């Protein structure tokens, strides 16, 4: 009986692993473009869609654009790909959730013809809730995939009002849902939430209760850059 249970467990775990996108392979075509030199290279558009964190809000109303993770990603990628032309486009709006972000997705995001799209809304999706957020994220994912765009979903950064170590915390539940969507759609998943869970004290990575400081943004950026290794 124990052997049967063990086999079932292993099959279940192997199913979970097979559902995850291969990090080294997913952006293979993009990485090949990034190493090309002029005149064979082209501009690679990275679009960051979401709320106040990718927008660069630190201690509101201060906006530290150059210390926010989209720009930190650009800096890191340029160090690895010195011949690449990389265009970072931030379509994020402070205070917005995914329900509203989906409504402007075509005119504000797809118009930029992203090569890679990053979606980061979970922090504000606690407002509309899991079901509404899932519907909005899925619409954006489907629209992007229909255009042949590579998509990477971000789990949330931290909020000091929640216990980040608790699986019952709202952001933990959104993280689980985002991971499941990434598996279902075979797109990338960048787990910012796990990076914040691993650091202590958490407040040293936050500029205010719900916004990371530069050190916090570096955690997010490092997790994203792993997809381009």
Contact 152, 69 (CB under 8 A): no
Query: Which residues lie below 8 Å from residue 192, measured CB to CB, with a gap of 6+?
Result: 120, 154, 155, 156, 157, 219, 220, 223
C-alpha of 177 from chain center: 13
Residue 8 falls inside a structural domain: no
Task: Assign residue 133 the CATH number of its domain.
Answer: 3.40.50.1110
pLDDT 10s digits, 174-216:
999 999 999 999 999 999 999 999 999 999 999 999 999 999 9
Instruction: Tell me how crowded residue 199 is: count the other CB atoms within 10 A of its CB.
Output: 15
Assign 221 to helix, strand or coil. helix
149 has pLDDT over 70 = yes
pLDDT 10s digits, 52-103:
999 999 999 999 999 999 999 999 999 999 999 999 999 999 999 999 999 9
- How many domains does the chain fold into? 1
Partners of 228 in the β-ladder: none
Instruction: Tell me how crowded residue 165 is: count the other CB atoms within 10 A of its CB.
Output: 9
Residue 55 falls inside a structural domain: yes
Residue 2 falls inside a structural domain: no
Contact 45, 114 (CB under 8 A): yes
Mean pLDDT of the chain: 93
**Strands 188-190 and 211-212, sheet pairing:** unpaired
Q: What is the mean pLDDT of residues 48-52?
A: 98
Determine the pLDDT at residue 13.
41
Contact 213, 207 (CB under 8 A): yes
Determine the pLDDT at residue 9.
45
Q: What is the mean pLDDT of residues 143-160?
A: 98
Residue 16 falls inside a structural domain: no
pTM exceeds 0.85, yes or no: yes
Residue 191 falls inside a structural domain: yes
Determine the pLDDT at residue 19.
75
- As given in the structure block, the two tokens for residue 145 are 């995939």
Domain, as residue range, for 133: 23-227
Residue 147 falls inside a structural domain: yes
């Amino acid at each position: 009986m124990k052997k049967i249970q063990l086999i079932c467990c292993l099959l279940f775990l192997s199913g979970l692993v097979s559902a995850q996108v291969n990090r080294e392979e997913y952006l293979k075509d993009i990485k090949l473009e990034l190493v090309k030199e002029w005149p064979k290279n082209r501009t690679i558009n990275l679009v960051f869609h979401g709320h106040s964190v990718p927008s660069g809000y630190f201690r509101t109303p201060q906006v530290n654009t150059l210390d926010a993770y989209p720009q930190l990603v650009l800096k890191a990628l340029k160090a690895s790909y010195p011949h690449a032309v990389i265009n970072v486009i931030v379509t994020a709006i402070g205070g917005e959730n995914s329900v509203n972000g989906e409504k402007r997705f075509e005119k504000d995001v797809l118009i930029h013809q992203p090569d890679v799209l990053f979606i980061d809304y979970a922090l504000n999706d606690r407002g509309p809730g899991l079901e509404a957020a899932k519907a909005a994220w899925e619409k954006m994912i489907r629209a992007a995939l229909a255009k042949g765009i590579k998509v990477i979903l971000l789990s949330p950064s931290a909020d000091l009002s929640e216990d980040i170590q608790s699986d019952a915390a709202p952001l933990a539940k959104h993280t689980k849902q985002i991971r499941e969507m990434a598996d279902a759609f075979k797109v990338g998943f960048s787990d910012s939430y796990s990076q914040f869970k691993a650091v202590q004290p958490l407040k040293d990575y936050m500029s205010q209760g719900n916004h990371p400081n530069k050190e916090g943004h570096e955690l997010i950026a490092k997790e994203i850059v792993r997809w381009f290794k």
